[in-house]
Amino acid sequence: MRTAVLAGFAGLVATALAPALAVAERDGAATAARAEAEAAPQVAEARAAGRVPVVSARDLAGRPVRAQDGEALGTVRYVLVDLDGGAVTGVAVRDEDDRDELAVLPWHALDTALIHDDELRIRTPESAFDAAPRFTRERLAELTKPTVLTTVTDYWAPLLRFSRGETGAAPQDPGAGAAPGGAAPEPPPEEDAPSAQARRGEQPVPHLLVGRSFVTTLVRPSFRFADQIEGSDVVDAQGRELAEVDEVVIDVDAGRVAYVVLARGGALGLGTAWYAVPLASLRGGARDDAPLQLAARPQLLEEEKALDASRTPMYVPRSELQELHARFDVPPYWQPAPARRSDVVSPPAGR
2-166+174-180+188-193 carries CATH number 2.40.30.170: no
Are 71 and 122 a contacting pair, CB within 8 Å? no
Euclidean distance between CA atoms 255 and 109, whole angstroms: 11
- Rounded-to-integer distance, Cα 26 and Cα 18, Å: 12
One fold for both 2-166+174-180+188-193 and 230-343?
Answer: yes
β-bridge pairing 292-294 and 233-235: parallel
Q: Rounded to two decimals, what is the model's pTM? A: 0.76
Return d(Cα 10, Cα 272) in angstroms, integer.
48
Q: Would you kindly state where each structural domain of the chain is located, as residue ranges? A: 2-166+174-180+188-193, 230-343
Q: Please determine, looking at this structure, whether the domain spanning 230-343 carries the CATH number 2.30.30.240.
A: yes
Three-state helix/strand/coil letters over 96-146: CCCCCEEEEECHHHECHHHCCCCCEEECCCHHHHHCCCEEEHHHHHHHHCH
Residue 46 identity (one-letter amino acid) = A
pLDDT tens for the chain, 351 residues long, are 444 444 454 555 455 555 554 554 455 445 555 555 555 566 677 676 789 999 999 999 999 999 988 999 999 999 999 988 899 999 999 988 777 899 999 999 999 888 888 899 999 989 999 999 999 888 888 888 999 999 999 999 999 888 777 655 443 333 333 333 333 333 344 344 444 444 445 788 888 899 988 888 887 776 666 555 556 889 988 888 999 999 999 999 999 999 999 988 766 556 788 999 999 999 876 666 678 899 998 888 888 888 877 678 999 999 999 999 999 999 999 987 555 543 444 444 443
SS3 content of the chain, % helix, strand, coil (to 5): 35, 25, 40
- The Cα 143–Cα 140 span in angstroms is 6
